C-alpha cells in the first residue's frame, strides 16, 4: 500500500475505528510498567514532563453538560479528565505501543539521553537492531507508527499545526547547539539568542529542561503519556503534542527552575519568581497560554520561538 492510499484509508475511517471502543480492559499501571524495565533515575528525569502529576480541578456534576464538555477551553483546563469524545486505543494496538516504548527506552539508553533528542525515525529503526534490550522494529510496529503519524490530531482535540510532515523528516546535522549541563540542544539562531538573553536577564537559576525534539523523542514521550492514560490518546494530547506536531521540532524550548524537579512541568512553575520575571520581559512568549485554543493545557514553562 502506498502512502497516498494509506492516508486515504485513514481519512475514510472514523475515529472510533482507531480505538475500537471507549472502555478499556484491565491494564498494568504506568508505574508498574515503568519499573518493569529497570529504568534509571536519569531516564525518569528525562521524561519528567510525562511523570509530573499536577494538581487540578475536578468537574462537578453540575458542570457535566453537553455544551460544557465539548468546549475546547474546558478540556484544556480539566486536561486529565475523561471526556465522552476522547479517542482510546486498547488490545493489540496498546500492546504494540508498549513494545515500542520498551524499544525507545533501550535505544535512548544506548545513544544517551541528549543524543536521543536528535534521532530521526530511520536512525531509530537501525539502532533498535543493536541496542541492548531492544529488538528490530517489526513491520506491524512500523505500520502502527505510520498510522499514528498520519492520523489527524484534530480528532484527538489537538489543534496545533504539524511541524514534521514526513516520517523521514530529521533535525538537520549542524542546525543545533548543545546547552552545557542540561543534556539538551537548541536550534541555532533565534532560540539560542533568546535563551542566552533570558539567562542574562533572569539569572542562572533558570535552565533548559527540554529543547529540540526530533521524531523518535516525540513518539517516545507521547507513547509514554498514552500508557499513563491507559490508552486515552486525547488525554495524552492535552499534555503532549502527538508525533509530528511538537513545536520543539522547530525551535521552542522548555525552561525550568534549578532544583525544582517535576514541579517545573506543573502550574507550580507559574508561582516562581523566575516565571514572574519571564513575564516582565517583552521578548518572551508562552506557547500554550491559559486561554489557548490549541487543546493543550496551560504550560508556563514552554517558550515560544517564532518559526
Separation of first and last alpha carbons in the chain: 34
Query: Residues with Cβ < 8 Å from 52, sequence gap 6 or more?
Result: 262, 263, 264, 265, 266
Which of 1-15, 138-152, 192-206 is the least confident region?
Answer: 1-15
CA 101 vs CA 2, 50, 71, 86, 231: distances in Å: 26, 13, 32, 22, 13
Give one DSSP letter per residue of 254-286, joined into a string.
EEEETT-GGGGGSGGGGGSHHHHHHHH-TT--B
Query: What DSSP designation does 162 have?
Result: P
Q: Nearest-5° angle of CA 79, CA 222, CA 131?
A: 155
pLDDT given at position 41: 59
Percent of the chain at pLDDT > 70 equals 86
Per-residue confidence band for 217, with pLDDT thresholds at 50, 70 and 90: very high
Which of 52-61, 189-198, 283-292 is the least confident region?
Answer: 52-61
pLDDT above 70 (res 259): yes
pLDDT given at position 115: 96
DSSP H or E segment with residue 198:
helix 190-202
Q: Higher-confidence residue: 48 or 246?
A: 246
Per-residue confidence band for 13, with pLDDT thresholds at 50, 70 and 90: very low
Annotation: CATH topology of 28-50+64-303: Muramoyl-pentapeptide Carboxypeptidase; domain 2 (3.30.1380)
Between CA 138 and CA 150 the distance in angstroms is 19
pLDDT above 90 (res 57): no
DSSP H or E segment with residue 196:
helix 190-202
pLDDT above 70 (res 28): no
Q: How many CA atoms lie within 13 A of 269 on its CB side?
A: 31
Burial class (CB in 10 A: 0-12, 13-18, 19+), 232: buried
Average pLDDT, the chain: 86
Query: Residues with Cβ < 8 Å from 276, sequence gap 6 or more?
Result: none
pLDDT above 90 (res 18): no
Per-residue confidence band for 78, with pLDDT thresholds at 50, 70 and 90: confident
Amino acid at each position: 500500500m502506498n502512502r497516498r492510499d494509506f492516508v486515504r484509508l485513514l481519512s475514510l475511517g472514523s475515529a472510533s475505528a482507531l480505538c475500537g471502543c471507549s472502555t478499556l480492559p484491565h491494564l498494568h499501571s504506568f508505574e508498574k510498567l515503568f519499573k518493569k524495565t529497570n529504568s534509571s533515575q536519569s531516564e525518569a528525569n528525562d521524561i519528567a514532563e510525562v511523570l509530573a502529576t499536577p494538581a487540578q480541578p475536578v468537574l462537578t456534576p453540575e458542570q457535566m453538560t453537553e455544551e460544557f464538555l465539548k468546549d475546547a477551553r474546558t478540556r484544556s483546563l480539566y486536561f486529565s479528565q475523561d471526556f465522552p469524545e476522547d479517542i482510546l486505543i486498547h488490545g493489540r494496538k496498546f500492546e504494540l505501543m508498549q513494545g515500542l516504548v520498551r524499544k525507545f527506552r533501550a535505544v535512548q539508553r544506548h545513544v544517551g539521553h541528549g543524543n536521543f533528542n536528535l534521532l530521526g525515525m530511520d536512525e531509530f529503526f537501525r539502532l533498535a537492531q543493536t541496542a541492548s534490550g531492544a529488538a528490530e522494529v517489526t513491520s506491524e510496529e512500523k505500520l502502527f507508527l505510520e498510522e499514528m503519524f498520519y492520523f489527524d490530531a484534530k480528532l484527538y482535540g489537538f489543534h496545533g499545526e504539524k511541524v514534521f510532515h514526513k516520517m523521514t523528516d530529521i533535525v538537520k546535522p549542524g542546525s543545533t547547539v548543545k546547552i552545557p549541563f542540561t543534556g539538551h540542544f537548541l536550534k541555532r539562531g533565534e532560540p539560542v539568542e533568546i535563551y542566552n538573553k533570558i539567562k542574562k536577564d533572569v539569572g542562572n537559576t533558570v535552565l533548559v529542561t527540554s529543547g529540540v525534539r526530533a521524531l523518535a523523542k516525540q513518539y517516545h514521550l507521547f507513547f509514554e503519556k498514552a500508557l499513563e492514560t491507559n490508552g486515552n490518546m486525547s488525554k495524552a494530547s492535552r499534555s503532549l503534542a502527538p508525533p509530528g506536531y511538537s513545536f520543539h521540532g522547530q525551535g521552542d524550548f522548555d525552561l525550568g527552575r534549578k532544583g525544582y524537579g517535576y514541579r517545573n512541568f506543573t502550574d507550580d512553575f507559574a508561582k516562581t519568581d523566575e516565571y514572574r520575571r519571564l513575564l516582565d520581559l517583552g521578548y518572551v512568549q508562552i506557547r500554550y497560554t491559559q486561554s489557548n485554543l490549541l487543546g493543550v493545557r496551560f504550560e508556563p514553562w514552554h517558550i515560544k520561538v517564532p518559526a
